Amino acid sequence: MSALRLILSVIFENMDVTSIKQRFGIIGNNNALNRAIDIARQVAPTDLSVLITGPSGAGKEVFPQIIHSFSARKHGQYIAVNCGAIPEGTIDSELFGHEKGSFTGAHESRKGYFEVANGGTIFLDEVAELPLSTQVRLLRVLETGEFLKVGSSKVQKTNVRVVAATNVDIPKAIDNGKFREDLYYRLNTVPIFVPPLNQRAEDIHLLFKKFAADFAEKYRMPAISLEPEAVKVLETYTWPGNVRQLKNIAEQISIIEKKRVIDETTLRLYLPDYQSERLPMLFKRNEPDSSFASEREILYKILFDMKADLHELKKTVFELTHNRPFNEEHPFDNSKDKSSVFKNLDFDTNSFVKTYDIKKTSPVIEETQEVIEETLSLQEKEKELIKKALEKHGGKRKLAADELGISERTLYRKIKEYNME
């Protein structure tokens, strides 16, 4: 086995990323994508566990095939298991097998995937969906190669390489008690990150043309193409469904549209919630949300609140100085004095208070001034907004985060930062 692994390692080193992309039908020249392929190329001859991360629809499923095909196990079984599609009550039986009579409906013994794939590779897709009890069993297999069938006390051995994938933020799942930290580090021996499509702008049109050609051949019709303005729309769309969504849209347009050259207006009909301008954001690898964008949203809310407070102050001052209600649309109607305080806010506060005896007649002015001073501290205003949102939703952080327009993870970090536990 070691000699074969050495030979494969030499052969695989001579294969470049371009050859691998041609063999497995991977389209694109993005640097992050090439880096992911290169890591798969280097790790394939070993028996190390690999964890593939990235958003749903980005094409994670091709990387386990690359790893298996260029490993010493390539002649063994390759089994792909979608952990999220198997009910919790039967997942242990599917993975590790069961003995006859071990549970209701177990009329005969059954081999699990780890027994069937002995000497091969198992791809555990959506591994973060595994129940905690199954995670314990999986950890034992990874560490010792041993497992127990459901309903059996006999220890069995298996020699399987595990490649896992997920679109879940596993460190966050660990914090929430939904994933074992020791299993995470055991699976994450070699991490591979597959970038989302909106970080591969240079690849989007290439992929679209490939899909259009494939569907033209499949449905026996001329291939569709895009006008230059439509290409810009394609490249600026956010693509929440990634490559899978792009492929679906290419198929829809190929079938539905009669014209074969697609313009910008037609393409937008197939892109939900399209915005022609995307706000700049900071992207972090393996980080689904941007703390920069989240904090910016909080600052927007603070500024809007400050604007509302200033408006209330203007309204109160007007009613005091003119002795009549404030008119939102025509604030100076029936007033001879057009030089209101609204036109010159830089007045002497002490003189103003003495003239109108505000301290005696209206303590509200003093309170309003204090609120304005408090809002000058962005941190205090941010803490106040977070406190109000938590009180409104009874301490439920997810609802409070939605109310504030930030992620639950950012809210949790802010609560820790301000000692608001």
Is 8 in the same domain as 146? yes
Q: What are 292's two structure tokens?
A: 């920069």
Provide CB contacts within 8 A for 248, sequence distance 6+.
Answer: 241
> Do 224 and 138 belong to one domain?
no
Domain end residue (candidates: 152, 172, 193)? 193
Residues 213 and 298 in one domain: no
Is residue 279, in this structure, part of any structural domain at all? no
Q: Which among 174, 193, 212 is the end of a domain?
A: 193
Residue 102 lies in a domain: yes
Q: Which domain holds residue 322?
A: 291-417
Which amino acid is located at 327 in the chain?
N
**Structural domain contains residue 301:** yes
Same-domain check for residues 206 and 187: no
| Cβ atoms 418, 390 nearer than 8 A | no
Out of 152, 173, 193, pick the residue that ends a domain: 193
Tell me, what CATH number does 143's domain have?
3.40.50.300
Kindly state whether residues 208 and 165 are assigned to the same domain. no
Question: Quick one: 307 and 361 in the same domain?
Answer: yes
Q: In this structure, are 90 and 14 located in the same domain?
A: yes
Please state whether 419 falls in left (phi above 0), alpha (psi between -120 and 50) or beta.
left
Q: What is the domain count for the chain?
A: 3
Does 286 map to a domain?
Answer: no
Cβ-based neighbours of 183, under 8 Å, separated by 6 or more: 135, 138, 139, 142
**Is the same domain home to 249 and 313?**
no
Q: Give how far the C-alpha of residue 342 lies from the chain's centroid of Cα atoms, to the nearest Å.
A: 46
Q: Are residues 317 and 227 in the same domain?
A: no
Give domain status of residue 336, yes or no. Answer: yes
d(CA 58, CA 36): 12
In a shared domain, residues 163 and 298: no
In this structure, is residue 277 part of a structural domain?
A: no
What local confidence, expressed as pLDDT, does residue 338 receive?
Answer: 45
Q: Are residues 313 and 402 in the same domain?
A: yes
Each of the 421 residues of the chain gets a pLDDT tens digit; together they read: 555 555 545 444 446 899 999 999 999 999 999 999 999 999 999 999 999 999 999 999 999 999 999 999 999 999 999 999 999 889 999 999 999 888 888 889 999 999 999 999 999 999 999 999 999 999 999 999 999 999 999 999 999 999 999 999 999 999 999 999 999 999 999 999 999 999 999 999 999 999 999 999 999 999 999 999 999 999 999 999 999 999 999 999 999 999 999 999 999 999 987 755 444 444 444 444 445 555 666 776 777 778 777 777 877 777 777 666 656 555 555 444 444 444 444 445 555 445 545 444 444 444 444 444 444 567 787 888 888 888 888 888 888 888 888 888 888 888 888 787 6
283 belongs to a structural domain = no
Same domain, 331 and 228: no
Residue 101: CB atoms within 10 A of its CB come to: 12
Report the CATH number at residue 217.
1.10.8.60
